[in-house]
Amino acid sequence: MDIREIRQKIIAGEYEISYHAEKERYAEDISIVDIETVITTGEILEDYPSDPRGQSCLILGYSQNRPIHVVCGFSSLKWVRIITVYLPKPPKWIDERTRGKGGDINA
Domain ranges of the chain: 3-99
Q: Does 103 score more than 90 pLDDT?
A: no
The pTM (predicted TM-score) of the whole model is 0.92
Give the Cα-Cα-Cα angle 14, 41, 54 (nearest 5 degrees). Answer: 50
| Percent of the chain scoring above 70 in pLDDT | 94
Distance between CA atoms of 21 and 41, rounded to whole angstroms? Answer: 19
The CA-atom distances, in angstroms, between 8 and each of 2, 3, 48, 78, 79 are: 10, 9, 20, 12, 10
Q: What pLDDT shows up at residue 52? A: 82
Distance between CA atoms of 95 and 76, rounded to whole angstroms? Answer: 33
Q: What pLDDT shows up at residue 107? A: 39
Using DSSP bridges, classify how beta strands 93-95 and 98-99 pair: parallel, antiparallel or unpaired. Answer: antiparallel
pLDDT in tens, 18-61: 999 999 999 999 999 999 999 999 999 999 999 887 899 999 99
